[in-house]
């Protein structure tokens, strides 16, 4: 007794195959939608900004005259900001991840902490801006300095780095730790010599992606109140500064039409920095990936 | 092989001075387990074990899955403590000292009691760095000494000729069987007294298995070896004594010949004749 009727199976074959194709088209459409938006965005920005993109734009300070406006202060300011954010957030983030994954016992309190760090990654950036304003700018009296903004940005991306580093550390097979412990290595030696080298591609990739988020964040800087028109470069960590997204935000909200183009040129610079950082992340990931 | 012989000589001298008049039959015990119990949270995994393991012998631990044989071997270097919720009572004495006493540092114990795992687990480093890992964590930095240890250990694990021309290649470029011998060499590099092996051939093909078994025979000249195995033929081939575990208890512990030809306990007979497990 056969349950599958050959004739019926053949009859249904056509509609099954059609259905298969329809779904493929739906998924392709969804992908194209995202790609298309990205292309339109890039095209618009480039066509607007290209006229203002030249060496002068990179070497001039901000100006009230669109043709003379430049991004030097903002670009250098953003680099200063990264010089604070990168070490602070990576050192704190990786240390926290090591503690949570390697040292902390698996109990309810620690599970609660782990869960809440993941939740922190979803807190809106403006909330971190308010926190930074309260603690760093006012309580610690750092003013609207690179240090205050850097600490705030570090807090903002810290949860992202912790989560990325935790995942990278967890991905190191337990057999590797056992091999090390089995030879009489201490926990510290095992972490430094076995766990971290294996986890570093994941940690760096996550960190660079988090840093590129920090370089594009505007809201916390607005809340802290960093200035936008600066005619000098910062010389120390306690100097005031401006940053790329702040500068772009300021240009974009000006009434003169020319400043829209200047803003577009600024966006091109910012995106170039982002693409560079993300490429580094990809290169690191591909180059150092370990196999087991 | 030459290297193996060289290392053997001083070791015998040492044991002779320690127990000069003792006849060859009466070997010293490396591990003496007394009324040892182990729980994983609520699960009573090892029940009232009492067993003495002699030096320079291969002791095989056999039994069906879940009988506690791996747990017991992992208790011998306290590796079992990595599992959360483990509790123990009773004693395991290594060379007369209770390894669970508060002043026994686990790092010290594991320097004396090395371990080879079920799945080959070399580090994703070069072959050289894999072998040098142990000496390095114990503070040896001198390149010349490290070179010598690496060569001696690789010779000891009978894999020197396979890898001497590519010491700086990643250990993962080797086959599974070679990787396992690299892991054995890595264990020899810390110059242990006892080597624990937790089903070291279960992930290997028959030819690699044979090589590891031959190696175990050579190693017992200098080391005391405790090997967990699923494979009863393997236990019969390579071990001097065999312990049969069942449900966390030792059913029978005797000379391997006796266990396999004339077991005392009915359950041992059933198991080795393949009636269960």
Tens digit of each residue's pLDDT (9 = 90 or more) over A166-188: 999 999 999 999 999 999 999 99
Q: Does B187 touch chain A (CB under 8 A)?
A: yes
CATH number of the domain that residue B169 is part of: 3.40.50.300
Q: In angstroms, rounded to a whole number, what is the distance separating the alpha carbons of residues A292 and A274? A: 32
What pLDDT, in 10s, does the model give residues B227-259? 999 888 999 999 999 999 999 999 999 999 999
Statement: residue B81 has pLDDT above 60: yes
When CB atoms are compared, the residue of B107, B124, B172 closest to A184 is B107
B44 is a domain residue: no
For residue B36, pLDDT over 90 is answered with yes
Tell me the pLDDT tens digit for each residue of B157-187: 989 999 999 999 999 999 999 999 999 999 9
Q: Estimate the share of chain B in helix, then strand, then coil, as percent rounded to the nearest 5.
A: 45, 25, 30
Q: How confident is the model at residue A290 (pLDDT cuts 50, 70, 90)?
A: low
For A151, B56, B146, B194, B224, the CA distances from B107, given in Å and listed in that order, are: 40, 23, 21, 14, 19
Which of these CATH numbers, 4.10.140.10, 3.40.50.720, 1.10.3720.10, 3.40.50.2300, describes A57-288? 1.10.3720.10
Integer Cα distance of B39 and B11 in angstroms:
37
The alpha helices in B29-175, defined as continuous H runs, are 69-76, 106-112, 127-137, 143-156, 160-163
* Residue B64 maps to a domain: yes
Percent of chain A with pLDDT over 90: 53
- Which one of A177, A183, A198 has the shortest CB-CB distance to B114? A183
Query: Which chain B residues are within 8 Å of A179, Cβ to Cβ?
Result: 117, 121-123, 183, 186
- More confident call, A139 vs A233: A139
Q: Is the residue at B195 inside a domain?
A: yes
At residue B9 the predicted structure's pLDDT band, cuts being 50, 70 and 90, is: very low
Identify the DSSP state of A53. -
Task: Write down the pLDDT at residue B84.
Answer: 86
pLDDT of A67 over the 90 cut = no
pLDDT value at residue A144: 87
Q: Which domain holds residue B220?
A: 56-76+112-272
CA distance A231 to A254: 19
Cβ–Cβ below 8 Å for A179 and B190 = no
What gap in Å lies between CA A115 and CA A134, rounded to an integer? 26
d(CA A184, CA B77): 10
CA distance A254 to A94: 41
Q: Is residue B82 part of a domain?
A: no
- The two tokens of residue A52 are 């203002």
Q: Indicate the SS3 state at residue A106.
A: coil
In a domain, B11, yes or no: no
Q: Is the pLDDT of residue B5 over 80?
A: no
Pick from B229, B147, B136, B273: nearest CA to A183: B136
Q: Find, among A214, A222, A212, A210, the residue nearest to A137 by Cα.
A: A222
State phi, psi for B254 to the nearest 5 degrees: -160, -175
How far, CA to CA in Å, does A288 sit from each of A203, A291, B169, B176, B233? 11, 10, 15, 22, 43
A183 touches B at CB < 8 Å: yes
- Of the candidates B51, B59, B60, the one whose C-alpha atom is nearest the C-alpha of residue B93 is B51
Span B114-134, average pLDDT: 94
DSSP A254: S
Helix (H) or strand (E) holding B48: strand B43-54
Interatomic CA distance for residues B153 and B132, integer angstroms: 10
pLDDT at B26 over 70: no
List helix spans (H) across B189-265: 206-219, 232-238, 256-261
What are the Cα distances from residue A118, in Å, to A166, A268, B161?
A: 11, 32, 51
Asked if residue B144 has pLDDT above 50, the reply is yes
Q: What are phi and psi of B4, to 5 degrees?
A: -60, -45
Which sequence spans correspond to the domains of chain A?
Answer: 6-51, 57-288
Rounded-to-5 percentages of helix, strand, coil across chain A:
75, 0, 20
What average pLDDT does range B1-23 have in this prediction?
A: 42
Give the gap in angstroms from C-alpha B116 to the nearest C-alpha of chain A.
8
The proportion of chain B whose per-residue pLDDT surpasses 90, expressed as a percent, equals 77
Which one of B108, B134, B172 has the shortest CB-CB distance to A183?
B134
**Which residues in chain B are closer than 8 Å to A180, comparing Cβ atoms?**
123, 133, 137
CA distances to A219, B10, B72, B157, B213 from B219, in Å: 67, 15, 22, 8, 10
Q: Do B183 and A292 touch (CB under 8 A)?
A: no
**What is the structure's pLDDT at A65?**
80
Domains of chain B: total: 1
């Amino acid at each position: 007794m056969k349950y599958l009727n050959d004739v019926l199976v053949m009859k249904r074959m056509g509609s099954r195959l059609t259905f298969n194709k329809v779904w493929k088209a739906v998924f392709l459409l969804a992908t194209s939608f995202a790609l298309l938006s990205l292309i339109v965005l890039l095209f618009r920005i480039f066509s607007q900004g290209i006229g203002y993109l030249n060496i002068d734009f990179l070497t001039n300070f901000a100006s009230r005259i669109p043709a003379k406006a430049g991004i030097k202060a903002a670009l250098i300011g953003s680099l200063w900001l990264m010089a604070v954010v990168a070490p602070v957030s990576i050192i704190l983030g990786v240390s926290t991840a090591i503690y949570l994954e390697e040292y902390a016992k698996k109990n309810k309190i620690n599970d609660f902490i782990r869960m809440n760090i993941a939740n922190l990654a979803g807190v809106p950036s403006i909330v971190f801006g308010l926190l930074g304003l309260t603690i760093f700018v006012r309580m610690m009296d750092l003013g609207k300095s690179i240090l205050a903004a850097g600490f705030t940005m570090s807090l903002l991306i810290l949860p992202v780095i912790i989560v990325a580093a935790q995942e990278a550390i967890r991905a190191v097979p337990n057999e590797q730790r056992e091999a090390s412990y089995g030879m009489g290595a201490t926990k510290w030696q095992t972490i430094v010599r076995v766990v971290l080298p294996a986890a570093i591609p994941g940690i760096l990739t996550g960190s660079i992606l988090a840093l590129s988020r920090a370089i594009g964040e505007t809201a916390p800087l607005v809340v802290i109140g960093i200035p936008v028109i600066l005619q000098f470069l910062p010389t120390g960590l306690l100097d005031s500064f401006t940053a790329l997204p702040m500068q772009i935000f300021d240009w974009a909200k000006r009434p003169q039409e020319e400043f829209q183009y200047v803003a577009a040129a600024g966006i091109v610079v910012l995106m170039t920095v982002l693409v560079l950082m993300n490429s580094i992340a990809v290169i690191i990931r591909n180059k150092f990936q370990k196999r087991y | 092989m030459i290297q193996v012989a060289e290392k053997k000589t001083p070791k015998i001298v040492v044991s002779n001075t320690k127990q000069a008049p003792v006849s060859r039959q009466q070997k010293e015990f490396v591990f003496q387990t007394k009324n040892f119990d182990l729980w994983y949270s609520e699960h009573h995994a090892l029940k009232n074990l009492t067993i003495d393991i002699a030096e320079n012998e291969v002791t095989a631990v056999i039994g069906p899955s879940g009988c506690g044989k791996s747990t017991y071997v992992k208790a011998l270097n306290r590796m079992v403590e990595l599992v959360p919720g483990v509790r123990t009572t009773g004693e395991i004495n290594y060379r007369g000292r209770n390894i669970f006493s508060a002043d026994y540092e686990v790092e010290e114990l594991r320097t004396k009691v090395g371990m080879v795992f079920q799945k080959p687990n070399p580090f994703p480093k070069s072959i050289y760095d894999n072998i040098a890992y142990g000496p390095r964590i114990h503070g040896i930095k001198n390149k010349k000494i490290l070179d010598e240890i690496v060569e001696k250990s690789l010779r000891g694990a009978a894999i020197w000729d396979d890898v001497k021309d590519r010491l700086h290649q990643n250990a993962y470029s080797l086959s599974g069987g070679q990787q396992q011998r690299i892991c054995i060499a890595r264990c020899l590099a810390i110059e242990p007294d006892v080597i624990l092996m937790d089903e070291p051939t279960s992930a290997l093909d028959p030819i690699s298995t044979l090589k590891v078994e031959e190696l175990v025979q050579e190693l017992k000249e200098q080391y005391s070896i405790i090997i967990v195995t699923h494979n009863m033929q393997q236990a019969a081939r390579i071990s001097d004594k065999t312990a049969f575990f069942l449900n966390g208890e030792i059913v029978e512990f005797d000379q391997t010949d006796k266990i396999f030809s004339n077991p005392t306990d009915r359950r041992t007979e059933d198991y080795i004749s393949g009636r269960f497990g």
